[in-house]
Structure 1
């Protein structure tokens, strides 16, 4: 970092230390904020465009044509989120080292192998001329803002002293590719499973990676790794895990989730379809979402967009609403390759022949240092992930094959006739669900459960790309040298499931298995826990008088259905006997915990003592059951904890009866007194009570789940601080109270509709939250209601940086109205007017 950047952060840090006043810092950086009124003349604008703002800074863009609207959209996104957009673009391209320096090279190397830029260029070429024109207009708007604001950048960009390159029309597709990367978690679970197989043996994997409650354990899938000497891969797999975790740490990749549901008019109180959606993303500042409303003479639309992407990802028009949840698609596979060195270069074994490894060179520009080059290596199964991740010197050296295996990543590239971008951009212009569903089937670039509603009917369509495999399901890494696990192409969208309902029905998804058991197409083997979907189904079935208020209550529901399932087992006489056999004082503690959990109503409120005890029990059970097997393998334990975001081994062991899981090796301990389900749960109850007394005190009436489990919004600067120079890290630490928000008491967990997941076995820090909520109620004149979890801006000096947090905590939604009276109410008369550069005597619409 140059002295100028350090000085800027140092000045602000000193100002805070001397005064403790955030308002003075805001005043210092007021020049970086966008204007919300007055007039701006822009080149390239054809006709005037007006922008009104509601009290939370959400813009209403009114223009006479879409070319102008997209240009202004880009300008506004840049004015509020340029630092966010830049970081997402750098991550997707594998160019973070240009911003952060050498510490980001391992992330860049990993991301460069994802080839998102190449995919974006290919998809752009397959986009219609009209849509390319809109993407160009959006990019032009971003660049118009950049050209006039390079000396008015937000604090973090200014401190980094980073010259932002021009925005490209393909960058929107690039960021979409990054978002899609976060929707599939199997790549990371395959890395986790490889680490565990190395250290505990492949025969343990089926018990540690169950598929779904009613499905058999994946013993057949694990057998492909048995007998292989995986020890030489330990260093590479662990390095891959570190890189993967680094992406999680900066909240630029994590396993995401979501809920959505829709109800037909005859099941609603006011006779209009209802659609609800809440997307689950890592907690942090800024929110991924930027709310926006657009109006032209022919079109109105409102909802949530992602900065850098000119699209309403979730939202509605006066005629159609849409949202999505993640399929948790398994469309990435790791293949193990047998490698050797030869005079011709590195080779890999395939069907009895040694084939040359394809080599390409990548150049990395490093902030404050010389450029670095790296060779990328590729087999027929994909890029080798491990060979360039051995040590820091790899970047300067040619490939040296030190291990027996390489780790190749297989992904599906865009097809020559891919219509995904055109379909995505066309859906908001449809008026009826069947037409929108037909377009959704053409979306290959993102794997989601798309839910749709018009005024009469609701529909669900699965989207994305999924491989056809010769053998296996791709849950664990596959040997690549004999070809038996190769991909045969992709599944035809004609085989994708869908549903359309016009009466007496509802549709919903919550990352659960969305197809029946035994469905012939493998869309995923890493579905989420089913409890969220079970709770949604229960609430949807309780009444035929659904309305806006009941939908809000559903989105804030914190009942965990697993509590009732646990209570069924807690009544088992075998457990009571095991508790009676415990030594004192464990017996007393277990008895107390047992009685309290049996009385628990299952609602995980932040002020609930029983909710604290219940989650302490789940954590202790996880440790009592599994931790001893991992005692000498901390890397494998970390991998196991990370992998528990889908349906987990802990839940599978806890909820299944002894006859179904008696073969699990994890029930058997060195101490017979601690072996078996009843004994392990008895000790877990005692340990949970003891841990609660340690953390929350001996007075149970003072226990609160929210004292252990909190919301903390950390800023982009705080998230990336570990990868920045030391002096900048110190400055960011001094600005903690200015940049970050919280902690606030949190309720819920991974199983509640109002999700607040944490890392089971690690700590109770909240990971995923409902990052935005959408309700579309077509019985209302203005049907669109939204809620962001943070604010519109990524600039800490902005009043809209974190002004949604209190409303998000309290359940206050914002209306984005289509009617003129509603717009007057929400946006008032004040307008920011954009005019063509040479306009004279022209007024705003």
Structure 2
């Protein structure tokens, strides 16, 4: 027995030793790629020495004697901290993810190949101005200098992920940066899926008039009735919906409702307590680890510039100089249209045009797949745009036999000058100059808000498609591509883009709300990203005669839901008060306790309160009960509460209360009946998932954000090292926006919000502040991987100063790139 024990002890000891050695080996290999910020490195390709001062948050302050060297330094810094992220984004644009990840990403690669974004980016390089070409080339040289350093000094392949996914790192090219701008446009584009959902819903509803309930227009002047989709689409279409198509891994097109948002507001000197202009901006994107945003400062010949960059793109996209500050929000411009293309029954390689049948423009492309045979797909383009497969976006549900679907989109241009416009904006010295240079933006379309010393302005930037007044669906539904009046007629002039310059009230802003109501075809959109947050914003802005940096910060972090304040009195109108105290343990008593909590609640979506969870679960259950009976499986596509729909139903606008009646039951249910049943559903769900102690619930437990590593975030054990999880306040309709997933098993998980926040005060520019949601580094062993995350969660910021002495005073390292 003693001998057996000794052998077991030896085996256990050996196992522990091997485990420790394995962990030590992995740590050593991974830590080799940790960048050193304090060094002198000889590099080729610069005109003079470059100094990169990392402040105590590892934000690089790039000091150079020429613009070319400054862009070189930015490329080097990006590659130091975010090489894996950059290469992953480039592979996404190229449709080459499957070379690393196998079959899991074939569908993603297929879409990107069909859109042909990378080819378009290559073609766009020659259309950039000389200054931008020089910046793109210098930036690429800086990235490649870091890659060369990694190879020469055996620095762990530059990122720990490359030990798990073996792939060659090709040199960075100017076209790569333009391709990443196009990927960002794809991540911010949502009208394709809006058209598909509207068409699917139109086919599923027995009463076409009910389409205006479930997909209502934003408040304002109404629009003419649309044709039924079945009347537009010739041939036999299904009158039932298939299940919602799942998102494949690394799919760059976000789910509906997550296609970009943001907040921005600005105040003129007479609305500022310090008599200087103010601007606050928080762009909203999907959360990830690391954040898509990277904070940086460059010293250019035009002066210092500081703000938020995206690794791979050589410009400060949101930020400030000494003379100018700018912010971006999604404009929701309708810059995408789907077209039905009729195939020639005698030759499927031809499609109908206004002038008869014409051959598709085609090209074969090969997708290499790790550990599997490659596949060859044929890319097809019509005069309207690329042909998309029916297997994606549920297009098969709305495409009649003998037809295919193509996409027109402003980003599909081989002459895209958005990169040149972005660099020119960053170097502008005034609002007037910035407005002029921004005419070069094509996609993604944004609302650009600007301040200089004395002026505030907002203008929609990006190409606005010109549509014929006789367009059959006004761009709201897929339309026959062979009818000339449905096709785009070029672009509207930049001067027609909405512009708000030096408004009388002194304040301008946008929460993705409807900004202008022009009749079709000169409209911006029929679909907007917000009709609720703007109400709260308007109240906060008008509630003060003058504003300060701190009042703008307060507005950014505001968690009050105007939807909760509007809808709860409506849906609970006949449920609030019960005279008697009901027996404990009964559904009625549980409902009574929930209503008592909600009756005293002010609508603040605070992470420490129970009421936001009760409210959110009730609204979700209510909408599902209202639409499931009519839409069947299509109800799964409505992942988020539609406030205008519920308000229409409970106010019985145009007979919308008919949604409350369950068609498949004999009794006629009232809206009060459905509200009561939905509350019971919600409380049962809460008890099953969060417990029965309603008063002890915390919204933050359900509304937690997981900044997930896009590749390793689901790997057992490893995910605890690479993911960053935080409980958060806010919700779908608060200014401190944290959009919920809308999908089981965690429907209220925070998945989309402000990965960057900045507030710029021109009364004292160096008191400006900013933050990103995780940290500067993309290396999970770095202390700068998540050091900004807790500040971000608590609503704190770091200084946004152009004073280099402040950066040096607490620097974590200084890198000197010197000529050999």
TM-score by length of 1: 0.86
Is the 8 Å Cα contact of residues 221 and 475 (structure 1) preserved in structure 2?
A: no
Matched, 1:210 2:216: yes
Partner SS, residue 181 of structure 1: helix
Is 1:832 paired with 2:815?
A: yes
Quote the residue 1:132 is aligned against: 133
1:654 counterpart = 2:654 = no
- SS of alignment partner, residue 362 of structure 1: strand
Q: Would the alpha carbon gap of residues 736 and 17 (structure 1) be closer, same or farther in structure 2, given more than 3 Å must change?
A: farther
2:358 corresponding residue in structure 1:
355
CA contact (8 A) 1:25 1:797 kept: no
- d(CA) in 2 for partners of 1:682, 1:834: 67
How do 1:795-810 and structure 2 match up within 5 A? Answer: 795-810=779-794
Q: Give the aligned partner of residue 553 of structure 2.
A: 552
Give the Å deviation of 1:716. Answer: 2.4
Whether the aligned pair in 1 keeps the contact of 2:514 and 2:530 (CA below 8 Å) is no
Pair 663,541 (structure 1): closer, same or farther in 2 beyond 3 Å: closer
How far 1:402 sits from its partner (Å)? 10
- 2:784 matched to 1:790? no
Which whole-Å deviations, capped at 9, do the CAs of 1:187-235 have from their partners, x for residues lacking one? Answer: 1223334444555569364433222134658841544656755547999
Which residue of 402, 407, 418 corresponds with 1:409?
407
Cα–Cα, structure 1 residues 41 and 814, in superposed 2: closer, same or farther, change >3 Å?
A: same
Q: Residue 441 of structure 1: CA displacement?
A: 3.2
1:178 aligns with 2:183: yes
Q: Distance in 1 between matches of 2:492 and 2:393?
A: 35
Alignment of 1:5-404 (within 5 A): 18=19, 26-150=27-151, 151=154, 152-153=156-157, 154-197=159-202, 199=204, 203=208, 205-214=211-220, 216=222, 219-223=225-229, 225=231, 228-229=234-235, 231=237, 241-242=245-246, 247=251, 254-296=258-300, 298-342=302-346, 344-351=347-354, 353-386=356-389, 403-404=401-402
Cα deviation, residue 585, structure 1: 5.3
Shift in alpha-carbon separation, 1:441–1:673, aligned structure 2, 3 A: farther
How far 1:246 sits from its partner (Å)?
A: 5.7
Unaligned runs of 5+ in 1: 1-13, 392-400, 722-731, 838-845
SS in structure 2 at match of 1:180? helix
- Comparing 202-211 with 467-476, greater Cα deviation is found at 202-211
In 1, Cα distance between equivalents of 2:643 and 2:265: 28
CA distance in 2, matches of 1:22, 1:252: 42
Q: Relative to 1, partners in 2 of residues 1:552 and 1:18: Cα closer, same or farther, differing over 3 Å?
A: farther
* Deviation, structure 1 residue 359: 2.3
- CA drift at 1:266: 1.7
- Please tell me whether the aligned partners of residues 298 and 306 of structure 2 are also in contact (alpha carbons under 8 angstroms): yes
SS at match of 2:62: strand
1:674–1:30 CA distance, 2 compared to 1 (3 A): farther
- In structure 2, what is the equivalent of residue 521 of structure 1? 522
Give the drift of 1:157: 2.0
- Give yes or no for contact 1:335–1:409 (8 Å, CA) kept in 2: yes
Residues 480-495 of structure 1 aligned to structure 2 (within 5 Å): 480-495=481-496
Distance 1:445 1:351, change over 3 A: closer
- SS of 2:721's equivalent? helix
Deviation at 1:269? 1.8
Change (3 A) 1:429 1:359: closer
Contact 1:264–1:273 (CA under 8 A) maintained in structure 2? yes
Is 1:452 the equivalent of 2:450? yes
The answer to whether the Cα contact below 8 Å between 1:202 and 1:223 also exists between their aligned partners in 2 is no
Q: Which residue of 1 aligns with 2:10?
A: none
Match of 2:478 in 1: 477
State the SS of the aligned residue for 2:635.
helix
Indicate conservation of the 8 Å contact 1:221/1:473, yes or no: no
Q: How does 1:627-642 map to 2 (within 5 A)?
A: 627-631=628-632, 633=633, 636-641=634-639
Match of 2:699 among 688, 700, 705: 705
Cα distance in 2, alignment partners of residues 418 and 249 from structure 1: 20
Task: List runs of 5+ in structure 2 lacking aligned partners.
Answer: 1-14
Deviations 1:414-451 (A, max 9, x none): 77876533222111222221221122233223200001
Once residues 279 and 328 of structure 2 are traced to their aligned partners in structure 1, the CA distance between those partners, rounded to angstroms, is 11
Q: Structure 1 residue 388: deviation in Å? A: 8.2
Cα pair distance change 1:380/1:576, threshold 3 Å: farther
Alpha carbons 2:102, 2:370 under 8 Å: kept: yes
2:649 matches 1:666: no
CA 1:21–1:600: 2 relative to 1, 3 Å: farther
Using the TM superposition, give the Cα deviation of residue 337 of structure 1 relative to its aligned residue in structure 2, in angstroms.
2.2
Determine whether 1:696 maps to 2:690: yes
CA distance in 2 between counterparts of 1:444 and 1:834 reads: 35
